[in-house]
Amino acid sequence: MEPILKVSDINVYYGAIHAIKGVSFEVNPGEIVTLIGANGAGKSTTLQTISGLLHSRTGSIEFLGESLMGIPAHKIVAKGLAQVPEGRRIFLQMTVEENLQMGAYTRSGAGIDQDLEKVYTHFPRLMERRRQIAGTLSGGEQQMLAMGRALMSRPKLLMLDEPSMGLAPILVEQIFEIIRTLHKAGTTILLVEQNAQAALSIADRGYVLETGRIVTSGTGQELLASPEIKRAYLGG
């Protein structure tokens, strides 16, 4: 099976800071793959490089067999790769429904209403609040909105950057349950998380990032059972 995303030997710098050091990994169709790592390990930098917001000096990034190197971010979204950024970045002054409609901006009118209904099925809470100004939503609802907005672009790969950040444990559980449901419905997902326990529990495979390098990889279950991972990331 051809991977949907293949990242090979990328190196990313912020000025003189070498943030990503020869990172390679892949995501196969239908998988949930997680990148875990501590604060500052390079998770967000990796996602932003894939989505075209940052650039690698070396290597290659292939999405559906096509190189993404040098392609601007908006064209990458149009190819079917959507990112839900850390901190949500929703349009705070717009309503919930307007935010969702913005997610379909790369598409023509066909099927948008049906997709809106589908998003409301996954997120009944957003349906209840469709006319509400997004800035007045709770943190968990804003995360749902950011995910719903990304789904409106009909992504072939959905990249989530720390969806659990800043959420109460009960909401973290809800968000992960939704990720699992999206996956069952056929969405391929690349999930970046500091919450290694939750991420590995739902992931088919995971990669561990430490100071810009991938140090370990395996199935979600293998990584959860590994003594080193337990010690370093699972609090015991």
Residue 16 as a binder of ligand ATP (CB under 6 A): the answer is no
Q: At its nearest, how many Å lie between ligand ATP and the CB of residue 17?
A: 5
Selected binder of ligand ATP within 40, 135, 139, 169 (CB under 6 A) = 40
Is residue 89 near ligand ATP by the rule CB under 6 A?
Answer: no
What does the DSSP assignment read for the chain? ---SEEEEEEEEEETTEEEEEEEEEEE-TT-EEEEE--TTSSHHHHHHHHTTSS--SSSEEEETTEE-TT--HHHHHHTTEEEE-TT----TTSBHHHHHHHTTTTS-STTHHHHHHHHHHH-HHHHHTTTSBGGGS-HHHHHHHHHHHHHTT--SEEEEE-TTTT--HHHHHHHHHHHHHHHHTT-EEEEEES-HHHHHHH-SEEEEEETTEEEEEEEHHHHHH-HHHHHHHS--
Min. distance of Cβ 88 from ligand ATP in angstroms? 14
Stretch that binds ligand ATP, among 38-46, 138-146, 176-184, 222-230 (CB under 6 A): 38-46
Q: Least CB distance from residue 35 to ligand ATP, whole Å? A: 8
Query: Does residue 42 belong to the site contacting ligand ATP (CB under 6 A)?
Result: yes
Minimum distance from CB of 174 to ligand ATP (Å)? 21
**The one among 3, 37, 148, 155 contacting ligand ATP by CB under 6 A:** 37
Size of the site for ligand ATP (CB under 6 A): 13
Residues making contact with ligand ATP (CB under 6 A): 14, 17, 19, 37, 39-45, 86, 194
